[in-house]
Amino acid sequence: MEFLTEYGMFLAKAVTIVIAFIVVVAVIASAGQKNKKHLEGHIEVNNLSEEIQEVKDGMQKELLSEEEYKALLKKKKKEEKEEQKQSKKKAKELAKKERKSTQADKTNQSTDDEKTTSGSSEESEASVEDDASKSDEESTDDKGRLFVLNFDGDVEASDVENLREEITAIIIAADKGDQVLVRLESPGGLVHAYGLAASQLTRIKDAGLELIIAVDQVAASGGYMMACVADKIIAAPFAVLGSIGVVAEIPNFHRLLRHNKVDYEQHTAGEYKRTLTMFAENTDSARQKFKQELEETHVLFKEFIEQNRTSLDVAKVATGEHWYGTQAIELGLIDEIQTSDDYIVAAAENIDVYEVTYRVKKPLAERFSFSVQSALERALMTLWHKSLKSRLFKG
């Protein structure tokens, strides 16, 4: 018993020293990062099509016989050669048409300089326009690509900083006919923060790209404000959507302060600089003004949804209620019942799918504290599981 007591004291001292060391390192690291106004980040592109194909190949290798698998590989190689052949053929045809277009431009220029008849000039221009239209038609025949983004929203929509970098990168690199799928998860939060997030998604549509929003779990309130911007919304059967409303909760400690004989003063310039407050006595007129501001925000929210999702009966769904995916599709809140995984796997059959992520190098203090926190959580969970097993065994 004495040994256990001494060991417990030693363990407590060791833990105290470790915690003290962690605090000191965190303070030093934070001081080193204090003067860095902007953390550097970079764009990462992950080819999901290749990953899906690797999984498929691995499954086929295990499920098929050796002869069947060899035959499958032979067939794939033949298809790849045919695709390469067709792509080379298309490239040659495009190059040939570009040369013809260039020659037509030169002919046009020379005829303009020589002041030839307007009829011949118009014919040349028509031929150039025909070549250009054909080129445009061929460009639209391209399969395009699908870019996948992930947005995990908190109350402050803090992931919007990464989202704006990812969208900028896609707009710079994308071509006509490409699509963007955003896997959106958010229960909502601050109005101005989610307003900015929705504006970032609008940039995708303004660039002429098709925007699809996929909701696997929840897109409510500010989350749905973002979702409604999309050309198409898909959701899992039990995903939560809607909650088109505005809420504000403010505690008031006035009676507590008055009970303890504590005075609180607040001075403002402007009749409505402050309406409700946490420490002063709130008046009926202040409450009325505060509710009016909430209602005005709700009106703006509804108008925004009406502008972006014209087919939706906003008056019917803007009650603050939320619905599951199977209910949401009946109300017009979404367009299709489908998970993001199903959409990506189906798309990968025909086009290239890329996941785009903006990574920020976290400060040393944050990385260190996160590692320590994870280790402590694992240790506590291990102890809890052992304690639970012990109780069950004794029972």
149, 181 contact by CB (below 8 A): yes
Catalytic residues: 221, 273
Report the Cα 261 to chain-centroid distance in Å.
Answer: 50
Residues 6 or more apart whose Cβ sits within 8 Å of residue 180: 146, 147, 148, 149, 167, 170, 174, 204, 209, 210, 211, 212
Could you tell me the sign of the dihedral formed by the alpha carbons of 384, 385, 386, 392, in that order? positive
SS (H, E, C) 39-60: CCEEEEEEEHHHHHHHHHHHHH
The CA distance from 151 to 166, in Å, is 11
Helices then strands, each counted (H, E), the chain: 13, 10
Rg, C-alpha atoms of the chain: 31
The CA distance from 175 to 40, in Å, is 27
Element (DSSP H or E) covering residue 15: helix 2-33
Pairing of strands 352-360, 41-47: antiparallel
Q: How far is CA 383 from CA 161, 378, 390, 394, in A?
A: 38, 9, 10, 16
The CA distance from 167 to 226, in Å, is 14
Tokens of 321: 């209620």
Element (DSSP H or E) covering residue 8: helix 2-33
147: β partners: 180, 354
Q: At what angle do helices 284-308 and 191-206 cross, to 10 degrees?
A: 20
Neighbour-count burial of 217, counting CB atoms closer than 10 A to its CB (0-12 exposed, 13-18 middle, 19+ buried): middle
